[in-house]
Amino acid sequence: MTSLRTIRGYAFDLDGTIWAGPRLLPGAAELVADLRHAGLGVVFASNSSRYGSEALARELTRLGIRAEGREVVAAFDLTAAEVLERVGPSPLLAIGTDDLAGSLARAGHEPLPLDRWSEARAVVVGNDPRFDFDRLRAASRAVAAGAAFFAVNLDARYPVADGFDPGCGALAEAVATASRTRPIVVGKPHPRLFESAVSRLGLAASEVAMIGDSQASDIVGGKAVGMFTVWVAPHDDIPAVTRPDLAVAGLPELHRLWLRAGGRPETPGLSA
């Protein structure tokens, strides 16, 4: 039976699990340090639609958790390949950050200006701080005219230091409503991101714990590919049908449970 005692690798969600806005959440740095000191694999599995793995790794390091790009799996980085596999190199509308448009361009796609929406063979929606009526109109018209519709994720919101901001999913739903078309979703809870995290660790899915604050994305998606799931329960999450294997109030509680299950860090960051 899989338990914390038998887990050999850990995949952590970022927003709402490791950090909220510009700060680490309590216990994050200590838990990650002790897992690494015990020789266990650690990766970060993010639904981010604004930044890729290298940028997320730099932010982790800046906040106090050393990380390299290869230790981060981001939906952002998987999107260009998903579009390539489904429609090939394409002229498209990138509704998101300049980083998202750049990632798509490097993969061989051609990001178009809004006034050329009729030429788009695909529309990719990420989190876009500049989202407005013009972007909604161009994206929804392109999708309604037949362009393939991709959403990096369907997260309605994401945690920040003073509450939440609207997420990629909120924008994608606006396009979906106006175009009367559902998007192809790249990130959680769909399998690609979880399978990439497991592969990055070089373990079987049953040997890896997925730790996250969203039942609908982290827990549902992790269980679907056979991972052990740990829900870091926020007060405002809507429970999904799939139950986590373990629920904790925060990472300090998970740290204590891991130590009691036999965790043996060489340099403990938290005493039992």
Q: How many CB atoms lie within 10 A of CB 73?
A: 28
pLDDT at 264: 64
pLDDT tens for the chain, 272 residues long, are 578 989 999 999 999 999 988 899 999 999 999 999 999 999 999 999 999 999 999 999 999 999 999 999 999 999 999 999 999 999 999 999 999 999 999 999 999 999 999 999 999 999 999 999 999 999 999 999 999 999 999 999 887 778 889 999 999 999 999 999 999 999 999 999 999 999 999 999 999 999 999 898 999 999 999 999 999 987 655 665 678 999 999 999 999 999 999 876 444 444 43
Domains of the chain listed by start with CATH number: 9-47+188-260 (3.40.50.1000), 87-185 (3.40.50.1000)
pLDDT at 233: 87
Give me 102's structure tokens.
């750049």
What are the two backbone dihedrals, phi and then psi, of residue 95, each rounded to the nearest 5 degrees? -95, 95
pLDDT at 234: 73
pLDDT at 154: 93
Structural contact between residues 234 and 252, judged by C-beta atoms closer than 8 angstroms: no
CB-count exposure of residue 219 (10 Å: 0-12, 13-18, 19+) = buried
pLDDT at 267: 42
pLDDT at 241: 63
**Cα 29 to Cα 61: distance, rounded to the nearest angstrom:** 10
Tell me the CA distances in angstroms from 75 to 63, 122, 258, one per residue in order.
Answer: 21, 17, 28
pLDDT at 270: 44
Tell me the CA distances in angstroms from 211 to 131, 202, 226, one per residue in order.
Answer: 31, 18, 13
Where do runs of H (alpha helix) occur along the chain? Answer: 28-37, 53-63, 75-87, 98-106, 133-144, 168-179, 191-201, 220-224, 251-260
Predicted TM-score (pTM) of the model is 0.87
Whether the CA torsion 245, 249, 251, 254 is positive or negative: it is negative
pLDDT at 262: 84
Q: Which of these, 207, 200, 197, 152, lies nearest to 175 by C-alpha position?
A: 152
Name the helix (H) or strand (E) containing 228: strand 228-232
